[in-house]
Amino acid sequence: MSDVLAVLEQRDGALRKVSHEVVTGARRLADALGGGVDALVLAAGAVQGAEQVGRFGADKVITLTNPGGIRACHRRARQERDIRSGDVRRERNRKGSRAARGRAAGASARPGRDRR
């Protein structure tokens, strides 16, 4: 038994019609696999029409909202997926990781500071 995740599209706080088609297709696939359909909506705020997705075949509707914008929602969705799958990784700061690699190789975190 496998569940199918349908990622829905919204624009300016309203669910797009293509999302209904995505859920309908996901329902057909889930029926063939013997699973359920989870629908995911990422948005900066409330989404109109998300409550009606069940009529098109979704068993569960997940809405992730973040006033910080859609990128923050994507990051949060990735983190939740990783937690569920057991693949939890620490987010690294690029600047910090480069400095750590440099120190491991014997260089200073600040080039030019070792000269005296």
**Residue 74 structure tokens:** 């994507």
Which regions in the chain score pLDDT beneath 70?
Answer: 68-73, 87-116
* Contact indicator for 52, 74 with CB cutoff of 8 Å: no
pLDDT at position 31: 94
CATH class name, domain 4-104 = alpha beta
β-strand pairing of 60-65 with 37-43 = parallel
Look at residues 57, 48, 80 and name the one whose alpha carbon lies nearest to residue 6: 57
Alpha helices in 1-116 (DSSP H): 18-33, 70-85, 94-104
Query: Which amino acid, 34?
Result: G
What are the angstrom distances between the C-alpha of 110 and each of 24, 94, 97? 56, 15, 13
pLDDT at position 82: 80
pLDDT at position 23: 95
**Residue 63 structure tokens:** 């809405």
Supply the pTM of this predicted model.
0.57
Token look-up 């569960």 returns: 60
